[in-house]
Amino acid sequence: MISLPEYPDLQVCVLAAGRGKRMHSTQAKVLHKVLGRAMIDYLLHTVEELRPKGIAVVTGHASEQVRAHVGQPANLAWVIQDKQLGTGHAVKQCEEVIRDVRDVLIVCGDTPLLRSQTLSELVDTHRNNDAAVTVLTAEVDNPFGYGRIKRDSDGHVTGIVEEKDASDEERRIGEVSSGIYCVRHDVLFDLLHKLGNSNAQGEYYLPDIVPLALTNNHRVDAMPMRDVVEMIGVNNRVQLSEVEDLMQRRIIHDWQMQGVTVEKPDTVRIEATVNLGVDVVIQAGCYLIGSTRIGDGCRVGPNAVLVDAWLDDDVEVFAFSHIHSANVGAGAQIGPYGRLRPGAVLGEDVHVGNFVEIKNSVVDRGSKINHLSYIGDTDMGSGCNIGAGSITCNYDGANKHRTHIGDDVFVGSDTKLIAPVEVNSGATIGAGSIITKNVESGGLTLSERPDQRHVGNWRRPTKKKD
């Protein structure tokens, strides 16, 4: 982790008022998620790392949604742009809330890959060059949709032309604007007041402060960025998935550097909100979603799906298991094809085998449910062995009922426990039983079994020839 300087004389302005028309969504664009985290959250976290004096966020379209999502951090001011008349108009709405700073850093809410290190370099370059306006640019293979940077024969920036206003020749320019600027506070609003809107979109373009600054004899600079993917703006869902892929590589790389083994990383999804310990092994095709936390030494996969799952240390989750809102104790083993549903809480060294489903149940240390069972609304003690195909019948069609199982209970295969029912510690239940009454500890409990007959002269059918 590189430590950044702090910028107490810098104000950040985040533009997030646009409709995001190209997303075709009822949700504000900046609330769309990249690996489980809203775009605006990435951006606010990134600019926070600069420790600026304050952050102004311009919202307009669906602003209530955005505010409700972000809440009210102490140094954050909300600014409303009623009509989305352009990026320049958006920044102008911040005039009242930006006070007593040297520079204003303007960023867009739709660039989640942006790094604080890059922003820090932009501000430092801007200050070292004594510029009035510095724009962060990128040399890209496909400049489509971005504003192109125009330079004169000496290489000085002369302006920025938007895709829709550009001539064919201008469209061939490969250097584009990231939409990110550092502007001296004492010139910014002067320039914004001078903006016009006679362009293809009839908008007040922020990029037009560049020629305006030059006419007013201010110095304008451009800083090309090193890692151009940082500036990718999400305007549609194709870009959303591109950004997600890039973010995924970054997140997996970070975990690998912190002691996590990821097999076939291109097949794995690890959301931004997930936490992993050291010596964790994530095998191919795993999905780790939401608030999932995985303790040291766990092995997960292949093709396991974990949603808001908490695993203590040294847990093994075998192939194709699905764990959702469940806690798993240290050393436990799940699957293959295990399913833990919300409210499953497993103690240390519990074994849950193939095709076993557990819901809203506590299973204590060392108990084993190894094959083809359903355990729902159950409290199970330690050291139990639940035979193959056993089921807690927890639902009468209207209400759910609990099953209580003590310690050291042996349940024979294919037993049905009709809840509410209690099985005391040390009980043994014979295979195939249907248990409707409480079971005593000790001895053997079993329900009546149907008679077994033998038909001696019976022949196996043979296949007809046609």
Residue 421: both structure tokens together: 């029912």
- Which of Ca ion, ligand UD1, none does residue 322 bind to, with CB < 5 to 8 Å depending on kind? none
Asked if 258 and 278 count as a contact pair (C-beta separation under 8 A), the reply is yes
CA distance 441 to 423: 8
- Which of Ca ion, ligand UD1, none does residue 162 bind to, with CB < 5 to 8 Å depending on kind? ligand UD1
State the CB neighbour count (10 A cutoff) for residue 458: 6
Nearest distance from C-beta of residue 43 to ligand UD1, angstroms: 9
Among 109, 147, 207, 233, binds Ca ion (CB under 5 A): 233
- Kindly write out the interface string for residues 27-66 of this chain, putting x where it contacts ligand UD1 by CB under 6 A and - elsewhere: -------------------------------x--------
Among 40, 70, 85, 328, binds ligand UD1 (CB under 6 A): 85
Asked if 35 and 80 count as a contact pair (C-beta separation under 8 A), the reply is no
Among 76, 108, 122, 220, binds ligand UD1 (CB under 6 A): 108
Residue 59: both structure tokens together: 């919202």
230 binds ligand UD1 (CB under 6 A): no
- Which of ligand UD1, Ca ion, none does residue 181 bind to, with CB < 5 to 8 Å depending on kind? none
The rounded radius of gyration (Å) of the Cα atoms in the chain is: 31
What's the number of CA atoms in the CB half-sphere (13 Å) around residue 165? Answer: 19
Which amino acid, one-letter code, is at 129?
Answer: N
79 binds ligand UD1 (CB under 6 A): no
Q: Is the CB of 164 or the CB of 253 nearer to ligand UD1?
A: 164
Among 179, 301, 329, 412, binds ligand UD1 (CB under 6 A): 179
Among 11, 46, 63, 87, binds ligand UD1 (CB under 6 A): 87
382 binds ligand UD1 (CB under 6 A): no
Residues 6+ apart with CB under 8 A from 367: 347, 350, 351, 380, 381, 382, 383, 384, 385, 386
Asked if 308 and 324 count as a contact pair (C-beta separation under 8 A), the reply is yes
Nearest distance from C-beta of residue 318 to ligand UD1, angstroms: 44
109 binds Ca ion (CB under 5 A): no
Q: For residue 42, is it left (φ>0), alpha (ψ between -120 and 50) or beta?
A: alpha
Contacts with Ca ion: how many residues (CB under 5 A)? 3
243 binds ligand UD1 (CB under 6 A): no
Site residues for ligand UD1, 303-322, by CB under 6 A, read none
Nearest distance from C-beta of residue 27 to Ca ion, angstroms: 16
CA distance 304 to 337: 9
CA 138 to chain centre: 27
Nearest distance from C-beta of residue 205 to Ca ion, angstroms: 13
The span of 45-53, 85-93, 243-251, 364-372 binding ligand UD1 (CB under 6 A) equals 85-93
- Inter-CA distances, 227 with 47, 117, 205, 257, Å: 18, 11, 25, 19
CA distance 415 to 54: 64
114 binds ligand UD1 (CB under 6 A): no
The span of 200-208, 265-273, 377-385, 413-421 binding ligand UD1 (CB under 6 A) equals 200-208
Burial bucket for residue 102 (CB in 10 Å: 0-12, 13-18, 19+)? middle
The span of 6-14, 228-236, 390-398, 444-452 binding Ca ion (CB under 5 A) equals 228-236
Nearest distance from C-beta of residue 111 to Ca ion, angstroms: 8
Q: For residue 366, is it left (φ>0), alpha (ψ between -120 and 50) or beta?
A: left
- Which of ligand UD1, Ca ion, none does residue 366 bind to, with CB < 5 to 8 Å depending on kind? none
Residues 6+ apart with CB under 8 A from 190: 216
Which listed residue (69, 185, 371, 404) is catalytic? 371
20 binds Ca ion (CB under 5 A): no
Q: Is the CB of 213 or the CB of 289 nearer to ligand UD1?
A: 213
Which amino acid, one-letter code, is at 57?
Answer: V
Does 371 participate in catalysis according to the annotation?
yes
Sign of CA dihedral 20, 25, 30, 36: negative
Which amino acid, one-letter code, is at 255?
Answer: W
Q: Which residues would be at the binding site for Ca ion (CB under 5 A)?
A: 110, 233, 235
Q: Which residues would be at the binding site for ligand UD1 (CB under 6 A)?
A: 15-18, 58, 81, 84-87, 89-90, 108-110, 146-147, 160, 162, 176-179, 205-207, 233, 235
Catalytic residues: 371
